[in-house]
Structure 1
Amino acid sequence: MAFLEIDNVCKSFGPVDVLKNISLDVEEGGFLVLVGPSGCGKSTLLNTIAGLEGLTTGEIRIDGDVIDDLPPAERNIAMVFQSYALYPNMNVGQNIAFGLEMRGMPKAERDAKVQEVAKTLQIEALLERRPGQLSGGQRQRVAMGRALVRNPKLFLFDEPLSNLDAKLRVDMRTEIKRMHQTFGTTIVYVTHDQIEAMTLGTKIAVLKGGIVQQYGTPAEIYNNPSNLFVADFMGSPAMNLIPVEIDGSWVRLTRDGDDPLVLDFDQLPASVGNMSGKQVIMGIRPEAITDSQGGAATRASSHRTVTAKCRIDVVEPAGADIFAITALGGKEVVTRLHQDWVGQAGQNHDLVFNLDKVVFFDAQSGERLR
């Protein structure tokens, strides 16, 4: 039995359906990330778990117990907000201990727990400071410490890093990951940042319009997107989505001023092969289109590959990689090349296509063809 069970949850505000039959489950110690664009319903779902919003229909269970009718204070849940929500008139130690004090815990026991959490989060030197004297990252650590010290059944994070600068977001992602590994806590985490979702979650639920588009591990979401929305939303750079023509086992990609690029798959799934003459979208990640040096490992792994000359329109060095843009099927296609690749924009270069990494979608419905 799952530790957190969200069973056919619906939430409406008047005539507007914000959550539509959402069913998810999280194992104990799991890290579920709810990700999607603004307005997709992810924060509303988090608020229903916390008890800040009631359900229209459905049921939520924690450790087998239905919590729908429990007030927030009785759900044994800790929530970390985007705004930190620290008391400005209290120092860090008092902020962390406040919830324990309200529950009547003796002072000596409170102080010991505060010291333990502060040591884990490396904020021992900050215990006497007030929130106004802290940086954004330090305030977020304090907010996490206040949640951790209560030892709740479930932690909820509502876009906790969105107020931080880029480098600090990366640092805090590491801290949250370390906290999860150290304490074995069960976490539900809301973000619109798909990089946070991929790096933090043991499971990811991608939402759009109040509907779960796909639920799975980060690898499943990334490598096997269930529809065009998930394919385009998850990944940076995003998956290349290219209109193609199907002819038996051949896939044709048009090129301006040149012959079409033909990829021979030997055998395509029946659902794809049956799409001859219909609109099909081919999805391929940038790292699955690389140069001959980067493609050597791909070929050595016995993957199906095709090498073709393509005109490189733009070259974008990015340190460990080089991103190059070519045009296929009337779309700009991003490729990921080896850092030592030498080439120039405006010239033709060999590119290696890893056919084992290609997925196909119905252009009309947007659904994956399997």
Structure 2
Amino acid sequence: MAFLQISGLRKRYGSLEILKGIDLDLEQGGFLVLVGPSGCGKSTLLNTIAGLESITEGDIRVDDHSIADLHPSKRDIAMVFQSYALYPNMTVAGNIAFGMEMRGVPAEERKAAIEKVAKVLQIGHLLDRKPSQLSGGQRQRVAMGRALVRDPKLFLFDEPLSNLDAKLRVDMRIEIKRLHQSTGKTIVYVTHDQIEAMTLATKIAVMKDGVVQQFGTPAEIYNNPANMFVADFMGSPAMNLLSGTIERGSNGLLVSLDRAAGAAIKLPVATDKQALEAHAGRQVVFGIRPEALTDPEGADRNARTLAENDCLIEVVEPAGSDTFAVTKLGGKEVVARLRADARISAGQHARLAFNLDKAVFFDPQTQARIA
């Protein structure tokens, strides 16, 4: 049985519906990331779990007990906020101990708990400092320590890294992952950053306009997007989504992609051919990730269906471990991910390999996945 269950959850403000029937479940010790663009409802959903927002319909259960009508203080949930919310006049130790002090925990127990948490988060040397003397990453560790020391059933994180610079975000992401692995706690985490979602989660819920577009493991979300929104939102660079036409060839189905100059590129269909048979002669959206479009030498040798074509390279972007090349197909710019030492130049034609095992197809009207 799931440890956290959210069933038919709706949240309305008057006639405005923010959450539109959310159904999610998470195993004990799992790490659920709610991800989506600003205004999609992810923070509202987190606040309903915390009890900071009431719900209009549905239920929220933790460890098979409904918490939907419980006061926040009775839910045994700890929350880490985006703004840290530390008391500036207290030391680090005082901030961590404050909640325990309010609950009447004896001084010796508080001291032992502070030392234990400080060791886990590597902030023992900061206990006597005030928040103003700490960096952003150190403040976030203190905020995490204040939550950890309570030993709750469930941790909630509301965009905890959004105020940090790029390098510090990476460092803190590793710390949060390490914290989850060492404590085994159940976590629900909100972010608009799909890299955070992919690297931290055991389960991801991709949200848009108050609706869960897809719920699954990071691999399921990335490799098998349910619709064009998920395909475009998850991945950096994003999946290439190109207008194409399904045609019948002598050896089976093909997808035809127009080029700015020259004949259209025709690629064999390697995925669910039966589902695409009904779309023969019709337009589809062809999706392929940048890493599945590469130089022939860098192509996946385990791929069952590889097709090579010459493409005019418009832009080359060296990125250290990779080189990104931009070409144009199906009337849109297409990003290919090549080896760092790939010999390629802007303004010239280059041979690119399409790994069609990784291709996906969408209906251009409904934007739902076809195959």
Q: Same fold (TM over 0.5)?
A: yes
* 4+ residue runs over 6 A deviation: none
Do the aligned partners of 2:41 and 2:208 also contact (CA within 8 Å) in 1? yes
Instruction: Using the TM superposition, name which of 273-282 and 176-185 deviates more.
Output: 273-282
Q: Which amino acid aligns with 2:258?
A: T
SS where residue 259 of structure 1 aligns? Answer: coil
Match in the other structure for 1:49: 49
Q: Which amino acid aligns with 1:136?
A: G
SS where residue 164 of structure 1 aligns? Answer: coil
Residues 205 and 327 of structure 1, relative CA distance in 2, 3 Å threshold: same
Match in the other structure for 1:256: 260
Q: Distance in 2 between matches of 1:158 and 1:268?
A: 39
Match in the other structure for 2:66: 66
Pairwise CA distance, 1:268? 4.8
Superposed, 1:180-329 pairs within 5 Å as: 180-248=180-248, 249-265=253-269, 268-295=272-299, 298=300, 300-329=301-330
Do the aligned partners of 1:247 and 1:273 also contact (CA within 8 Å) in 2? no
Instruction: Using the TM superposition, name which of 332-341 and 273-282 deviates more.
Output: 273-282
Superposed, 1:1-370 pairs within 5 Å as: 1-248=1-248, 249-265=253-269, 268-295=272-299, 298=300, 300-370=301-371
Aligned length: 367
Q: Distance in 2 between matches of 1:6 and 1:359?
A: 30
Q: Distance in 1 between matches of 2:345 and 2:92?
A: 55
Q: Distance in 1 between matches of 2:348 and 2:309?
A: 13
Do the aligned partners of 1:285 and 1:357 also contact (CA within 8 Å) in 2? yes
Pairwise CA distance, 1:303? 2.2
Do the aligned partners of 2:285 and 2:361 also contact (CA within 8 Å) in 1? yes
SS where residue 178 of structure 1 aligns? Answer: helix
Pairwise CA distance, 1:267? 7.1
Q: Which amino acid aligns with 1:154?
A: L
Residues 106 and 321 of structure 1, relative CA distance in 2, 3 Å threshold: same
Residues 92 and 267 of structure 1, relative CA distance in 2, 3 Å threshold: closer
Q: Distance in 2 between matches of 1:116 and 1:268?
A: 53
TM-score by length of 2: 0.98
Q: Distance in 1 between matches of 2:114 and 2:271?
A: 61
Q: Distance in 2 between matches of 1:274 and 1:291?
A: 33
Q: Distance in 1 between matches of 2:272 and 2:76?
A: 51
Do the aligned partners of 2:303 and 2:355 also contact (CA within 8 Å) in 1? no
Unpaired segments ≥5 residues, structure 2: none
Identity of aligned residues (%): 64
The CA deviation string for residues 265-290 of structure 1, in whole angstroms up to 9 with x for no partner, is 36752222211232200000000000
TM-score by length of 1: 0.98
SS where residue 368 of structure 1 aligns? Answer: coil
Instruction: Using the TM superposition, name which of 203-212 and 267-276 deviates more.
Output: 267-276
Q: CA RMSD in A?
A: 0.9
Q: Distance in 2 between matches of 1:293 and 1:246?
A: 28
Q: Which amino acid aligns with 2:151?
A: N
SS where residue 25 of structure 1 aligns? Answer: strand
The CA deviation string for residues 287-324 of structure 1, in whole angstroms up to 9 with x for no partner, is 000001101xx1x3142100111111110000000000
Pairwise CA distance, 1:123? 0.5
SS where residue 197 of structure 1 aligns? Answer: helix
Q: Distance in 1 between matches of 2:304 and 2:85?
A: 51
